[in-house]
Amino acid sequence: MIVQMNPTRTLLLVEDDAAIRSLLVLHLEQAGFRVLEAPDVRTALRWLDELLPDIAVIDWMLPDVAGITLLERLRHNDRTRQLPVVMLTARAAEADKVRGLEGGADDYVTKPFSPRELLARIRAVLRRRQPEPEAGPVAFGGLELVPDRRVVRREGAEQTLGPTEFRLLHFFVTHPERVWDRAALLDRVWGDDAFIEERTVDVHVRRLRLALRPLKADGMIETVRGAGYRITAIPLEPL
């Protein structure tokens, strides 16, 4: 009987030291991970290009580009922005830790470390990330969002959205009916560290509506004057 069979997780391991790498691969695979090995950033990017892992473990010091740089690149790309990252470092310096965490690392492990410790951190990060699965397709009021392709579907018809449009719609769909004011949307869709005019939200809402028009679903995004916007399930015209 299966109590809790976790689906196999894919893990990207970016580490140049072959010895450490194979040691980790051993443990990681034994722990049920499918490991993508990358001795350098170039290889890592190739992997990422073809397959989005569930988590990445990145060595701080790498031969070609600093691991921290890779981290920043990941955070800069829409596809990898949500990717959980655990940094691996030989330095115990606090400054690095801060920089790493600020750069968006979810945790970091200092060498020397036991594989068990790394594993524990990885699991903790995955667990923490779990509650907000940005990945799976979402459906609401006849719409279906496909995060992989940034596409909305309705009765077969498809519309591709821009990155921000998609995140916005995704947020609405996962928090339906309620009214969200512009500030809240900036916080939750753009991130609370984005310093953006509130009116920009209007523009993006408009773009989203425009994109939804071909699906005759633009009416789902309602304006609540003086308050904000909300998505609501309404009877839609047939396509």
Partner DNA sequence: CGCCTTTGTCACAAAACTGTCATCTCCTTC
Partner DNA sequence: GAAGGAGATGACAGTTTTGTGACAAAGGCG
- Under the rule (CB under 7 A), what is the footprint of DNA? 1, 3, 5, 76-78, 160, 162-165, 190, 194-197, 199-200, 202-207, 209, 223-228
Tokens for 117? 């410790």
Q: How far is the CB of 95 from a second copy (least distance, A)?
A: 6
Q: How far is the CB of 52 from DNA (least distance, A)?
A: 14
Please identify, using beta-carbon distances, which residue of 44 and 169 lies nearer to a second copy: 169
CA distance 8 to 235: 40
Interface with a second copy, residue 224, by CB under 8 A: yes
In eight-state DSSP terms, residue 113 is: -
10, 103, 134 from 84: Cα distances, Å: 12, 12, 12
Backbone angles phi, psi at 159, to 5 degrees: -140, 135
Select the binding partner of residue 104 from a second copy, DNA, none (C-beta < 5 to 8 A, by kind): none
CA distance 51 to 120: 24
Select the binding partner of residue 31 from DNA, a second copy, none (C-beta < 5 to 8 A, by kind): none
Nearest Cα to Cα of residue 209 among 201, 221, 198: 221
**Residue of the chain from 1, 49, 92, 225 that contacts a second copy (CB under 8 A):** 225
Enumerate the β-bridge partners of residue 143: 140
Interface with a second copy, residue 175, by CB under 8 A: no
Please identify, using beta-carbon distances, which residue of 98 and 239 lies nearer to a second copy: 98
Please identify, using beta-carbon distances, which residue of 69 and 114 lies nearer to a second copy: 114
Interface with a second copy, residue 199, by CB under 8 A: no
Which residues, 6+ apart, have CB-to-CB distance to 78 below 8 Å? 163
Interface with a second copy, residue 123, by CB under 8 A: yes
**Residue of the chain from 1, 2, 5, 19 that contacts a second copy (CB under 8 A):** 5
Enumerate the β-bridge partners of residue 89: 110
Please identify, using beta-carbon distances, which residue of 16 and 96 lies nearer to a second copy: 96
Q: Footprint of a second copy on residues 68-97 (CB under 8 A)?
A: 94-95, 97
9, 22, 55, 108, 118 from 124: Cα distances, Å: 14, 22, 11, 11, 10
**Residue of the chain from 150, 167, 170, 204 that contacts a second copy (CB under 8 A):** 150
SS3 content of the chain, % helix, strand, coil (to 5): 40, 20, 35
